[in-house]
Structure 1
Amino acid sequence: MGTDTRLEELGVSGLGEVDEPAFSGLAERHRRELHVHCYRMLGSFEDAEDAVQETFLRAWRRRETFEGRSTFRAWLYRIATNTCLDLLAKHRPEPATGGEVRWLQPYPDRLLDELPAGDADEPETVAVARETIELAYLVAVQHLAPRPRAVLILRDVLGWPAKEVAELLGDSVNSVNSALQRARAGMREHLPAERQDWTGGQQDAELRELLRRFTDASVAADIPTLTTMLRDDIRYSMPPTPGVYVGLDAVVNSWIEDGYEGMQGLRPVPTSVNRQPAVAYYHWRAEEGAYLPLAIDVLRISGGAITEVFIFDADQFPRLGLPERLPADGTE
């Protein structure tokens, strides 16, 4: 992933000889993958944006420290990781608790498509890349303390050797290996038990039919029909609103209490985020003569049933590339 650039490939003895436009050009090649890395670390698209900008600023200011022993890409990852750790120490010194991540934000698939494709001969690599961007993974990893979180992502997602991770964090290899074991144990506590059965972005006929029925029932606000598609241990949350509902009765009761039953005037737009199926809903506003953004449901599906629903506010629509309104006839 990315371009592995060393000093000899730049034709210079040090980055101090590279002017700012050339440096920016080198760094920009890695923007998307660094952004995804920071997103995994922070769980927030907006915070990841800030982290990447700070990474590029730090890299430019410290360009003379790049000695070419590693690739330029690896050097940027080191800076990005430490930037994220600094941001976490300042703004989120404690990890998430209770199974919820109030700062969680969705990541548009159209931007994930900018990442280089995984090796077709290594399906496990492709699966890891997909599973580690899904929302359930993001929630689980946010429950880890920052440094074990960094170790887990660098070792298990990016595949860095323990020695390089230790150098980055200023720890011993033994400390890194110990942190990795703790992080993996922590992930097992928070990841879904059926993780190996995730459908991810697969769009087979059975999944498409389930999505169609879910969408139709949602537009009709038909809670009894929706209930037939939910697993008994369904999880439901609405970041940044506090609270996670677990179990069929708790989820259905929350919908009834929120006044969803009998809601009218919805129009759906199928989409996908975090490599998961999603549906954006628009609500008819007579005074505007149009359907305006309401919310987006992101689904985790396993074993032919919906096992988790994340609902995000309409303020996420622009980032996800969704239209700002739908006219009365449904055209865009």
Structure 2
Amino acid sequence: MGRSPAAGDAGAAAGGPGAERSTQDLLALARAGDGAAFRALVDPYRHELQVHCYRILGSVQDAEDLLQETLLAAWRAIDGYQERASVRTWLYRIATNRCLNALRAGARRPPAYATYQPEVPLPEPSHRGPEPSWLEPYPDALWEGIADQVPGPEARYEARESVSLAFLAALQQLPPRQRAVLVLRDVLGFRTAEVARILDTTQDAVTGALKRARGTLAEELPGADRDGAPLPGSPRERRIVAEFVRAFEAGDVDAVVALLADDASLSMPPLPLEYRGRDAVRHFLATVALRTGQRHVLIPTRANGQPAFGCYLRDPRTPIRHAHGVLVLGLSGDRITAVTRFLDNALLARFGLPRSLRP
């Protein structure tokens, strides 16, 4: 069938914009080897498929890789597509099973993470996870269109909630198959029968996996009101963020802690460590992040629908400010409920931020 359009091949001309052709026309052309027609067929779903892979895998780079694998597999299998389900459902079937194969293979382990060494000894955490967290932040600029989509009628979560760090961190605690079932049912709103076809299993198996997944999420997710976070860009959010920036850049531990909820947490993926409660967070800030001589510059951005910052550490010997990870805030009401610092400086590039700041 010719070269894959996912690899950048222009393919044969589809005879005009895909929107002017029916799905049947595009399918016929794609089956005849027309790469442009294939792209017109799958491009409406490209963005949401990437977010789907991100939800299951927790990594932006892995999601992009699996999206490309999905499109390549779809291109190769287009002749075998029997139209028993919509094109969208067919693509979700391929993407979901590719993600599950990747999780089973255990190849998703960024080597740079495993060698991270903290600058100073870390205090004993109040909570320690069983293994490193490979969750990465997702730039808002990549998912803005998805946030406005209406999920299926069976969905339990709004699009913005289902990409929040709290939700995704809880999702990563599920076994892969339960993770996929919950995302397909409760996030995307596929019916039980559709999920069973996507995963090539029975409806009873889907129902059982969903029940177990929901039970785990009920324990992992914070008990706060889902609608408690201020709206993005609202005056309330801007005020909280401005106060946090002033306090953090000044190294004022007390002022930062004053902004925290009583049950606030601080974590540093991929380290499986979490500091829960004001006292634990205060001790960490005073002895590690904002210890004497540590001064930061925060450059605002957004990740996972939440306020975020490129974090840079001032070098007392030079005017250069060096990258110090990505910081993401979780908010509820007038308080900060979570501070998450992602340690991998390479993530800054995904937010269009440099590795260092110069005057």
SS of the residue corresponding to residue 36 of structure 1 reads helix
Tell me whether 1:177 sits opposite 2:207 in the alignment. yes
Instruction: Tell me which residue corresponds to 2:54.
Output: 39
Q: How does 1:75-114 map to 2 (within 5 A)?
A: 75-91=90-106, 98=129, 102-114=133-145
Please tell me whether the aligned partners of residues 107 and 273 of structure 1 are also in contact (alpha carbons under 8 angstroms): yes
Instruction: Tell me which residue corresponds to 1:9.
Output: 24
Give a deviation string over 1:215-266, Cα, whole Å, max 9, x none.
1010011101111111222111111223111122222222233262234553
C-alpha distance 119-282 of structure 1, shift in aligned 2 (>3 A): same
1:273 to 273, 294, 303: 303
Instruction: Tell me which residue corresponds to 1:145.
Output: 175
Instruction: Tell me which residue corresponds to 2:335.
Output: 305
Please tell me whether the aligned partners of residues 236 and 334 of structure 2 are also in contact (alpha carbons under 8 angstroms): yes
Give a deviation string over 1:177-208, Cα, whole Å, max 9, x none.
12111111111010110142431643332332
Offset of residue 309 of structure 1: 0.8
SS of the residue corresponding to residue 313 of structure 2 reads strand
C-alpha distance 201-40 of structure 1, shift in aligned 2 (>3 A): farther
Instruction: Tell me which residue corresponds to 1:59.
Output: 74
Equivalences, count: 322
C-alpha distance 287-220 of structure 1, shift in aligned 2 (>3 A): closer
The worse-fitting range, judged by mean Cα deviation, of 132-141 and 54-63 is 54-63
Offset of residue 14 of structure 1: 7.8
Offset of residue 173 of structure 1: 1.3
Give the AA of the match of 1:10: D
SS of the residue corresponding to residue 319 of structure 1 reads helix
Give the AA of the match of 2:135: L
Aligned-pair identity (%):
39
Tell me whether 1:50 sits opposite 2:80 in the alignment. no
Please tell me whether the aligned partners of residues 15 and 66 of structure 1 are also in contact (alpha carbons under 8 angstroms): no
Q: How does 1:314-329 map to 2 (within 5 A)?
A: 314-328=345-359
Give a deviation string over 1:261-296, Cα, whole Å, max 9, x none.
234553222221100011222233477744333232
Instruction: Tell me which residue corresponds to 2:148.
Output: 117
Give the AA of the match of 2:67: V
Instruction: Give the TM-score of the pair, scaled to structure 1.
Output: 0.86
Q: 2 CA distance for matches of 1:155 and 1:14?
A: 32
Please tell me whether the aligned partners of residues 214 and 229 of structure 1 are also in contact (alpha carbons under 8 angstroms): yes
Give the AA of the match of 1:271: T
Tell me whether 1:208 sits opposite 2:208 in the alignment. no
SS of the residue corresponding to residue 281 of structure 1 reads strand
Tell me whether 1:68 sits opposite 2:98 in the alignment. no
Q: 1 CA distance for matches of 2:220 and 2:19?
A: 35
Tell me whether 1:19 sits opposite 2:19 in the alignment. no
Instruction: Tell me which residue corresponds to 1:226.
Output: 256
Instruction: Tell me which residue corresponds to 1:239.
Output: 269
Listed as ranges, the gaps of 5+ residues in structure 2 are 1-17, 109-127
C-alpha distance 114-155 of structure 1, shift in aligned 2 (>3 A): same
Give the AA of the match of 1:153: V
Give the AA of the match of 1:296: V
Give the AA of the match of 1:75: W
Offset of residue 133 of structure 1: 0.2
Listed as ranges, the gaps of 5+ residues in structure 1 are none
Q: 1 CA distance for matches of 2:322 and 2:297?
A: 9
2:218 to 188, 192, 195: 188
Q: 1 CA distance for matches of 2:20 and 2:82?
A: 12
SS of the residue corresponding to residue 283 of structure 1 reads strand
Q: 2 CA distance for matches of 1:142 and 1:293?
A: 27
Q: 2 CA distance for matches of 1:5 and 1:56?
A: 22
RMSD of equivalent CA atoms = 3.1
